[in-house]
A = this chain, B = another copy of it.
Amino acid sequence: MRQYWMTKDPIQINDCIERVIRPEAGAISTFIGIAREFTEGKRTLYLEYEAYVPMAVKQLERIGREIQDKWPEARTSIAHRIGDLGISEIAVAIAVSSPHRDEAFQASRYAIERIKEIVPIWKKEHWEDGTKWMGDQKEQVAYHDGKLKRGGK
């Protein structure tokens, strides 16, 4: 059972949760990114996600290793959707378990921030009046010169 995957099929958060449950775990923090219909009044019809799939999986695995380095007792699972998503469908699901809640919260937050930095996935907004490939949503200067922001230890 892979802990990190990309899929064209709808994601169930429980698929991630069941991969991180273990007897030492007392806390699970999950993060779910869903397709938002209204952004400051502007209406999205659907989202389209494209990815460099094999590399995206490797980068998700890398995020998992970074989390394990930072929080050794944490266990992580991440799934990301590709293709077309209707409103309120799950784009990304992250689950992190740990003995106590503090690390679980920190690690799941870390995971989504890193996804937005290093995982080769792109979102295209389909509005009523046009489309646009979104990028650079973190407004990281690091992107602009084409360099990778290093994480981990």
Stretch at the interface among A35-43, A49-57, A141-149: A35-43
Judge whether A17 and B24 touch: CB under 8 Å: no
Which chain B positions have C-beta within 8 A of A25?
34, 36, 88
Interface size on A, residues (CB 8 A): 32
What is the total number of copies of this protein in its complex?
2
A31 contacts B by Cβ under 8 Å = yes
A32 contacts B by Cβ under 8 Å = yes
Chain B residue nearest in CB terms to A28: B32
Closest beta carbon of chain B to A104's beta carbon, Å: 8
Which chain B positions have C-beta within 8 A of A101?
31, 33, 112
26 A-B pairs whose Cβ atoms sit less than 8 Å apart in the complex: A13-B13, A13-B14, A14-B14, A23-B36, A23-B38, A23-B88, A24-B37, A25-B36, A26-B34, A26-B35, A26-B36, A26-B39, A28-B31, A28-B32, A28-B34, A29-B31, A29-B32, A30-B31, A30-B32, A31-B104, A31-B105, A39-B99, A101-B112, A105-B105, A105-B108, A105-B109
